[in-house]
């Protein structure tokens, strides 16, 4: 997967995986990989800064937890993040529709 392709879609991915319930960074990376059928291998150096950014702008909140002697920073979706995710989802539909109609032109335009 070309790294640049992810640009601008990372937020949607991260918000989406924490939608069902709070998760910590490492688990988020695994969830991303699992839910994409192995297609998405996002490095830690991408995810951790991105999570902090999303927290800084208010879409996520975090708290520390210790599980089995390991410290975890657990992220959860805020109300703002939930609204943002809705927006990201409709933006994704518009985006794929726009690119798709250029890449695969046909008699399917309204």
Partner DNA sequence: ACCTACATATAGAGAGCCTACATGTAGACT
Partner DNA sequence: AGTCTACATGTAGGCTCTCTATATGTAGGT
The contact set with DNA (CB under 7 A) reads 1, 3-4, 6-11, 24-27, 42-46, 48-53, 67-74
C-beta of 98 vs 101, nearer to DNA: 98
57 touches its own copies by CB under 8 A: no
Expressed in percent and rounded to 5, the helix, strand and coil fractions of the chain are 55, 15, 30
Which residues are bridge partners to 66 per DSSP? Answer: 71
Rounded to 5°, angle at Cα 87 from 102 and 59:
135
Q: How far is the CB of 27 from DNA (least distance, A)?
A: 6
SS3 61: strand
Size of the site for its own copies (CB under 8 A): 37
C-beta of 66 vs 90, nearer to DNA: 66
Give residue 6's Cα distance to chain centre.
10
| Residues found near its own copies in the complex (CB under 8 A) | 1-9, 12-13, 16-17, 32, 35-37, 39-40, 88-89, 91-92, 94-105, 109-110
């Amino acid at each position: 997967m070309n790294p640049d392709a992810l640009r601008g879609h990372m937020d949607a991915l991260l918000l989406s995986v924490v939608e069902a319930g709070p998760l910590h960074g490492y688990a988020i990376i695994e969830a991303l990989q699992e839910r994409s059928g192995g297609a998405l291998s996002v490095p830690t150096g991408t995810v951790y800064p991105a999570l902090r950014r999303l927290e800084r702008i208010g879409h996520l909140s975090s708290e520390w937890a210790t599980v089995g002697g390991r410290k975890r920073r657990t992220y959860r979706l805020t109300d703002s993040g939930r609204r943002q995710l809705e927006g990201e989802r409709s933006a994704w539909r518009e985006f794929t529709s726009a690119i798709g109609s250029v890449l695969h032109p046909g008699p399917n335009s309204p």
